[in-house]
């Protein structure tokens, strides 16, 4: 066993992942009870934990690992697996005894030492924290993490000179530089050395002017040093890239009101939390979800109400398809945080993904009632209604958003596109066409709109040449989008160009083999070119992929009787791309 794991070693018990353990059910996504665990053998618990881990059902995996560990408490691999999954679910306090056992097996276990260092820092045991960090196994991420957190323990003891020197001595990849200058600046600001802090934060800012946290730290530092104009300019430049960020808007409001913004970090514990948050959020976005979860949960152990860490944690739980955990993370954001509104919107979207649509709709409706100009909340509600096929209600909601943009800009193209879809689906084509054209006026090369409008024209037998060219352009812009390629194939089908249709639909199948509509379309095209055996195969496959209920009867009729020869417009399932 090695202690250098940066991700969980969850392996399926069989290649297909359908290994069945007697008495074990993990399909529900709910953690098993202690009574259920007790009825399962140690081997069964272990296998169930690994299966749950593969599907990222972390609560179940943790419960099963605990059950296996009780039967074999000295097994290093079991201890490690249980430790990692417990930490990823946010049970940080429970992870510490496991971490202590791990370093008994392997003295330099990286993640165990990191967890124990976080505990020491939380308790203001600075020397102990540094000791744990110094004993951990090294590597690019670990080196940066350990150095920055160790430096915060030195800053806590008032040794700011060595804290900054410790950071500056660290050698590594080029991307270290922004982190080093950022944290050196925060430490110097914490020490009250505003001039030196400003110089380091300026260097960090100049390396990446789009890093929100760096922008905020530099802007706050300028304002606290008396350069309010400079601070507003820094915030203003960032707003050109990402307008209306709640935390930055709050800082700008303070400056404009003559108030002095607080420093970004107010304690060594918060500084260490900032290290873990910054690295965890980056790692999580770049494919290291498991390590990202560990870092973010440790950050929140040190700074429980860190709003950005909670938002990042919720986002990461969404990425690993755990909406229940995402909802819990968003709920923890303090009521007085400027990010609470964003969190409430995300909570509603996750509730909808759990089929709790009425609850999601009620939350967003209440939020909009309190903040009638909240464009983001209005669009979120409209998107839920559109996805649930409540097109008339969605039109009303999107229209509220359109009214908030009397002079729409390029970024507003989605409003007209989404409302146009709802008009089209509710059989109000003139209004739909007008919205699609407005969307293209705002964003002329948007492939989804080109595809939807172009296909709609071809499907209706109007503007045929222009419509087909629009679809072709959409395919050129998104050649790997199976839905848009499907639209091109189906447009050819509608035009009676069956050989061309089959060719494009075969390409769409390669891109989206699991889609029932594309398989159905390809079956129709094959039938039209005389490839009847292959057509029936595609239709059977379409049925296996669980199409919409209204499509099942039609596909079964084709399997039974073949296709009637009234012409292309009577066959197949319509679809104009993925609907956004």
Contacts of residue 513, Cβ cutoff 8 Å, sequence gap at least 6: none
- Residue 432: other Cβ atoms inside 10 A: 23
> Measured between alpha carbons, how far is 217 from 210 in angstroms, rounded to an integer?
13
Which of the given ranges, 78-87, 165-174, 432-441, 558-567, has the highest pLDDT on average?
432-441
With 90 as the cut, is the pLDDT of residue 378 above it? yes
Closest CA to 148 of 304, 291, 306, 276: 276
With 90 as the cut, is the pLDDT of residue 109 above it? yes
Q: What is the pLDDT of residue 74?
A: 84
Q: What is the share, in percent, of the chain residues with pLDDT greater than 90?
A: 78
Q: What is the pLDDT of residue 221?
A: 95
Contacts of residue 172, Cβ cutoff 8 Å, sequence gap at least 6: 140, 143, 144
Q: Cβ distance 223 to 240 under 8 Å?
A: no
Q: What is the pLDDT of residue 571?
A: 41
Q: Cβ distance 435 to 447 under 8 Å?
A: no
Number of domains in the chain: 1
Q: How far is CA 508 from CA 466, 484, 513, 548, in A?
A: 22, 8, 8, 19
Residue 432 maps to a domain: yes
> Measured between alpha carbons, how far is 568 from 553 in angstroms, rounded to an integer?
18
Residue 436 maps to a domain: yes
**Confidence grade of residue 479 (pLDDT, cut at 50, 70, 90):** very high
Residue 508 maps to a domain: no
* Residue range 171-216, pLDDT digits in tens: 999 999 999 999 999 999 999 999 999 999 999 999 999 999 999 9
Residue 380 maps to a domain: yes
Mean pLDDT of 554-567: 84
**Confidence grade of residue 564 (pLDDT, cut at 50, 70, 90):** confident
> Measured between alpha carbons, how far is 515 from 458 in angstroms, rounded to an integer?
22
With 50 as the cut, is the pLDDT of residue 16 above it? no
Q: What is the pLDDT of residue 15?
A: 25
Mean pLDDT of 82-107: 93
Residue 514 maps to a domain: no
Residue 388 maps to a domain: yes
Can you give the pTM of this predicted structure? Answer: 0.83
Residue 276 maps to a domain: no
Q: Cβ distance 423 to 393 under 8 Å?
A: no
- Residue 564: other Cβ atoms inside 10 A: 10
Quick one: tokens of 173?
A: 């990849």
Residue 407 maps to a domain: yes
> Measured between alpha carbons, how far is 550 from 555 in angstroms, rounded to an integer?
9
* Residue range 21-49, pLDDT digits in tens: 334 443 444 567 666 666 676 677 677 76
The length of the chain is 580
What is the residue range of 394's domain? 356-442
> Measured between alpha carbons, how far is 68 from 41 in angstroms, rounded to an integer?
8
CATH number reported for the structural domain that contains residue 402 in this entry: 1.25.40.10
* Residue range 528-538, pLDDT digits in tens: 999 999 999 99
């Amino acid at each position: 066993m090695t202690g250098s794991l940066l991700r969980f070693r969850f392996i399926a018990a069989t290649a297909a992942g359908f290994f069945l353990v007697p008495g074990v059910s993990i399909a529900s996504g709910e953690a098993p009870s202690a009574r259920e665990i007790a009825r399962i053998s140690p081997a069964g618990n272990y296998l169930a934990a690994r299966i749950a881990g593969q599907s990222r059902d972390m609560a179940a995996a943790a419960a099963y690992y605990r059950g296996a560990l009780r039967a074999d408490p000295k097994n290093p691999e079991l201890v490690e697996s249980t430790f990692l999954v417990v930490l990823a679910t946010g049970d940080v306090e429970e992870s510490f005894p496991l971490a202590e056992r791990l370093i008994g097996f392997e003295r330099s276990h990286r993640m165990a030492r990191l967890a124990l260092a976080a505990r020491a820092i939380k308790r203001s045991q600075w020397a102990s924290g540094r000791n744990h960090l110094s004993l951990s196994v090294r590597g690019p991420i670990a080196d940066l993490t350990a150095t920055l957190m160790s430096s915060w323990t030195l800053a806590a003891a008032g040794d700011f000179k060595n804290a900054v020197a410790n950071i500056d001595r660290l050698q590594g990849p080029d991307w270290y530089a922004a982190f080093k200058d950022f944290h050196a600046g925060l430490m110097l600001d914490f020490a009250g050395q505003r001039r030196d802090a400003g110089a380091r934060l300026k260097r960090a800012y100049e390396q990446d002017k789009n890093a929100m946290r760096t922008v905020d730290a530099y802007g706050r530092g300028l304002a606290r040093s008396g350069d309010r104009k400079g601070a507003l300019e820094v915030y203003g430049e960032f707003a050109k890239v990402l307008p209306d960020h709640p935390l930055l808007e709050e800082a700008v409001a303070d400056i404009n009101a003559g108030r002095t913004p607080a420093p970004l970090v107010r304690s060594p514990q918060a500084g260490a939390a900032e290290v873990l948050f910054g690295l965890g959020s980056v790692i999580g976005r770049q494919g290291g979800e498991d390590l990202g979860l560990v870092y973010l949960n440790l950050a929140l152990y040190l700074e429980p109400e860190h709003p950005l860490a909670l938002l990042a944690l919720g986002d990461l739980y969404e990425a690993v398809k755990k909406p229940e955990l995402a909802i819990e993370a968003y709920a923890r954001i303090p009521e007085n945080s400027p990010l609470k509104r964003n969190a409430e919107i995300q909570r509603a979207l996750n509730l909808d993904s759990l089929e709790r649509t009425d609850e999601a709709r009620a939350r967003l409706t209440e939020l909009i009632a309190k903040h009638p100009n909240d464009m983001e909340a209005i669009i979120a509600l409209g998107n839920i209604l559109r996805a649930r096929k409540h097109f008339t209600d969605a039109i009303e909601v999107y229209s509220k958003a359109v009214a908030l943009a009397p002079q729409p800009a390029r970024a507003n193209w989605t409003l007209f596109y989404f409302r146009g879809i709802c008009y089209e689906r509710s059989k109000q084509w003139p209004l739909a066409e007008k919205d699609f054209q407005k969307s293209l006026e705002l964003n002329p090369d948007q492939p989804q709109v080109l595809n939807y409008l172009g296909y709609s024209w071809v499907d209706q037998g109007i503007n045929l040449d222009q419509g087909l060219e629009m679809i072709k352009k959409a395919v050129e812009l998104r050649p790997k989008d199976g839905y848009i390629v499907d639209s091109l194939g189906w447009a050819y089908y509608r035009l009676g160009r069956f050989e061309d249709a089959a060719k494009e639909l075969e390409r769409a199948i390669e891109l989206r083999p699991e889609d029932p509509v594309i398989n159905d379309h390809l079956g129709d095209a094959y039938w039209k070119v005389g490839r009847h055996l292959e057509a029936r195969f595609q239709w059977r496959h379409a049925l296996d992929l669980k199409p919409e209920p209204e499509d099942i009867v039609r596909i079964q009729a084709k399997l039974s009787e073949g296709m009637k020869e009234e012409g292309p417009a009577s066959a197949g399932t319509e679809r104009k791309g993925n609907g956004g």
